[in-house]
Amino acid sequence: MANQLAILGGDPVIPPGAVKPWPPITEVDEEYVLASLRGANHAFGPNCVEFEKEFAAWNGNRYAITTNSGTAALHMCVAACDCSEGDEVIVTAYSWSSSATCILHHNCIPVFVDIDWETMNIDVDQIEAAITAKTRAIIVVHLHGLAVDMDRVMAIAAKHNLKVIEDACQAHGARFNGKKVGTLGHCAAFSFNQNKNLCSGEGGMFVTDDEEILAKARMLWSFGETRTPAESRDYHAYALGWMYRNNDLTAAFGRAQLTRLDTYLAWQRRNAQQLAESLHGVPNLLLPTEPAGHEHNWYNFVIRFDMEALGQTQDPAACRDKLVQALRAEGVEAGVWQRFILPRMTVFQAKNAYGHGAPWSSPHAQPVDYSLDQYPVAQRHSDTHACLVQTLRYPNGSDLIELIAEGIRKVMARAEELAGV
């Protein structure tokens, strides 16, 4: 029954347990974490200070602040870029919710822009039309590990005197024209969540090269204070602040993983290239692209199903779900990363984040339109994609990649039949 689909009773291509867990844990991780555990400071401790220095050096930034999440780092970016109540911040219509809710966290108004089909990133051609007198910043999301065309974005920002925030939460090590993401805008946020290429369980990092932006971010990060826990604090709140600091154990884990991050990224890139070559020409399957000047980190390997060719344009998401179910039955760990475009989410459609319609009801805000017909490309992508995440990660190797390709080819050979089930 080797050719019979597993979902119909056949044998799966990939046996259970073939995919290695992420992240790999070694004696280095144990050494760093145990040393922290046996130390005297389990709040913001010496590993936090060293993690900031080491990550900044690795990425090429002057300054870094370690946080308890990538979402916290994004909120710090919004605050540090002088975005105030009722100000507008432009962001992509397709991303993780934090890319837009971080704007709400500072009582600002998200303005969504549709995506470019090929890159899955914000459509740079549509950014300028979204700028108004209330716009203060642009959040560019380097989605799935592929950088946005930052030369064009920075030119638009300079023309309109806007700040550019890089959401690099998925994009560790990705490059645009040879430069790492996180060094191209005014400030940036990284995530170290479980799925990320640099994993410390949870956590994140704010980075910038600007001292003034650094100081504003740091106040939000620690109770509105102006001095860090590594300094002599006066415990005085100078501005509205949160508690976004990291802890020593998490930072120790992050430091240990950082020693192997370049190895992970090179390995992941080889796996992605092999998978793309193995899937080239498979009918009804659309593969991710890597435009000239962009170096993908392949955080997610995103495939899309050609619903026009399959005759499934009326309910593409339902067809996609059937194909993903068949892939998973074969042992291919495919999943739907984000089923909703951001403007479709209830908080934006209701325009009510804090009650009484806030922040949209602010006297400092102007009306914004979230009509869903403005984002057809984002919706099409959302309905037709599937992602491969951990299967490309170290130490999963060439043998597994070939099995993944075999499982996908097996399902796609019966895609028309499955679409009609």
Verify that 202 and 295 share a domain, yes or no.
no
Question: Could you report the per-residue pLDDT of 45-58, keeping only the tens digit for each?
Answer: 999 999 999 999 99
Average pLDDT, rounded, for the chain: 96
Verify that 316 and 398 share a domain, yes or no.
yes
Overall average pLDDT of the 185-210 stretch: 98
| pLDDT band, very low/low/confident/very high, at 124 (cuts 50, 70, 90) | very high
Does residue 380 form part of some domain?
Answer: no
- Res. 296: pLDDT tops 80: yes
Does residue 382 form part of some domain?
Answer: no
Overall average pLDDT of the 323-333 stretch: 98
Verify that 253 and 264 share a domain, yes or no.
no
Q: What is the pLDDT at residue 88?
A: 98
CATH number at residue 16: 3.90.1150.10
Q: What is the pLDDT at residue 411?
A: 98
Q: What is the pLDDT at residue 239?
A: 79
Q: What is the pLDDT at residue 85?
A: 97
Verify that 80 and 146 share a domain, yes or no.
yes
For the record, the structure tokens of 68 come out as 């308890």
- What range defines the domain where residue 130 resides? 27-259
Does residue 45 form part of some domain?
Answer: yes
Q: What is the pLDDT at residue 421?
A: 61
User: Which domain-ending residue is among 259, 291, 312?
Assistant: 259
Verify that 49 and 197 share a domain, yes or no.
yes
Overall average pLDDT of the 350-379 stretch: 98
- Res. 18: pLDDT tops 70: yes
Does residue 379 form part of some domain?
Answer: no
Q: What is the pLDDT at residue 1?
A: 55
Question: Could you report the per-residue pLDDT of 240-260, keeping only the tens digit for each?
Answer: 889 999 999 999 999 999 999
Overall average pLDDT of the 112-126 stretch: 98
User: Which domain-ending residue is among 259, 275, 295?
Assistant: 259
Question: Could you report the per-residue pLDDT of 408-417, keeping only the tens digit for each?
Answer: 999 999 999 9
Verify that 15 and 117 share a domain, yes or no.
no
User: Which domain-ending residue is among 259, 284, 316?
Assistant: 259
For the chain, the domain total comes to 2
Q: What is the pLDDT at residue 67?
A: 98
Verify that 325 and 238 share a domain, yes or no.
no
- Res. 2: pLDDT tops 70: no
| pLDDT band, very low/low/confident/very high, at 226 (cuts 50, 70, 90) | confident
Verify that 125 and 148 share a domain, yes or no.
yes
Verify that 312 and 194 share a domain, yes or no.
no
Question: Could you report the per-residue pLDDT of 142-161, keeping only the tens digit for each?
Answer: 999 999 999 999 999 999 99
Overall average pLDDT of the 329-356 stretch: 97
Q: What is the pLDDT at residue 324?
A: 98
Q: What is the DSSP string of 185-205?
A: SSEEEEE--TTSSS--SSBEE
Kindly state the helix (H) or strand (E) to which residue 88 belongs, with its residue range.
strand 88-92
**Nearest partner of 407 among 326, 320, 335, judged by Cα:** 326
Overall average pLDDT of the 368-373 stretch: 98
Verify that 309 and 267 share a domain, yes or no.
yes
- Cβ atoms 70, 55 nearer than 8 A: no
CATH number at residue 143: 3.40.640.10
Q: What is the pLDDT at residue 234?
A: 82
Q: Give the CA dihedral 44, 49, 52, 53, nearest 10 degrees.
A: 180
229 vs 176 pLDDT, higher one: 176
Q: What is the DSSP string of 327-376?
A: HHHTT--EE-S-SS-GGGSHHHHHT-SSSTTTTTT-TT-------GGG-H
